[in-house]
Every structure is written in C-alpha cells, then in structure tokens.
C-alpha cells in the first residue's frame, strides 16, 4: 500500500514545445495526439501528461507518468483531477473511457480506485475498456456489470 503523499498537483495547459516532449519518457512520447494535453508538474518536475479526446458525448483519457515517478501515487491523482475537471465543466459528456492494455495491472487498479468500472459491453481487440459515468449528465450511462466466477 502506498503511503499518503503531500503535494500540490498542477495541471497546466501549455503550448507543446520540444522541451516538454523530450521531458516525457521515450515510452510515453507516442501515446498522445497532443490535442488537449496537460503537462503535470510537482515541485517544477515534469511528472507526466494527461490528455482528453471528446467523441460526441463521450471522452477518452490518456494518462502517462514518467518511469521515475511511477508507483508513487501520481497516476491516481492525475486521473482523479482530470475526471473531476471534465465531469464538473463538461455536462455534455456522459462518460469517460480508459483503454488499458491487459498487461497493465496497476492501471486497472488505479482506474477502479477512481470510480471506473470494467465495461463488459465495450469490445476492443487490444485494450480493456474501463468507464466512468458522469453524475452531472442527465442521460449518464448505467453500466451493466456482470461478474463471472
């Protein structure tokens, strides 16, 4: 279990520049489309980035934390901050989807801690899809959750 950490998380939207791109680890540079990206800092250190993409009434979030900052609680804080921001400022979004590689077990644990549920109704060949419904949207999707033993 991770200890509680005390930090100020700053989501600052910036124009993409080579310094920010190069500061992201090489494993993270290719996962973003750089449309609505926020670089995440703690104490002036680049921790990672988060991006959202809107598709009609749904959003997709992509989170990346630099390797040296993983397993310190940043992923959860970053995902919680963006989820809250989108749900409270964008009532037109009914839900947020996360596409997680099956091998990324720590990502599903983070997703579940942030209120995302495995979506049995959505199918993707490469990823597991976790969904969180917007409580502020009048037509928020209710997920059918089937548990298999």
Q: Give the DSSP H/E element, type plus range, for residue 51.
A: strand 45-55
The per-residue pLDDT for 41 is 81
pLDDT of amino acid 50: 86
Question: Mean pLDDT across the stretch 44-73?
Answer: 89
pLDDT band at 135 (very low <50, low <70, confident <90, very high): confident
Phi-psi label, residue 5: left if phi above 0, alpha if psi -120 to 50, beta otherwise: beta
pLDDT, residue 9, reads 47
**In terms of pLDDT, which residue wins out, 41 or 76?**
76
pLDDT value at residue 144: 44
> 51: which strand partners?
37, 62
pLDDT at 32 over 70: no
* pLDDT exceeds 90 at position 24: no
Mean pLDDT for the stretch of residues 91-101: 92
Contact 65, 47 (CB under 8 A): yes
Residue 5 contacts residue 72 (beta carbons within 8 Å): yes
Over range 91-120, report the average pLDDT. 93
């Amino acid at each position: 279990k991770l200890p509680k950490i005390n930090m100020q998380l700053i989501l600052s939207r910036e124009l993409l520049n080579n310094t920010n791109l190069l500061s992201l680890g090489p494993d993270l540079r290719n996962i973003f489309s750089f449309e609505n990206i926020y670089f995440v800092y703690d104490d002036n250190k680049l921790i990672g980035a988060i991006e959202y993409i809107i598709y009609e009434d749904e959003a997709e979030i992509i989170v990346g934390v630099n390797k040296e900052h993983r397993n310190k609680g940043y992923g959860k804080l970053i995902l919680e901050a963006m989820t809250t921001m989108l749900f409270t400022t964008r009532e037109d979004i009914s839900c947020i989807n996360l596409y997680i590689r099956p091998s990324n077990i720590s990502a599903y644990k983070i997703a579940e801690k942030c209120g995302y549920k495995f979506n049995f109704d959505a199918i993707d060949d490469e990823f597991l899809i976790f969904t969180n419904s917007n409580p502020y949207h009048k037509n928020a999707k209710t997920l059918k959750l089937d548990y298999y033993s």
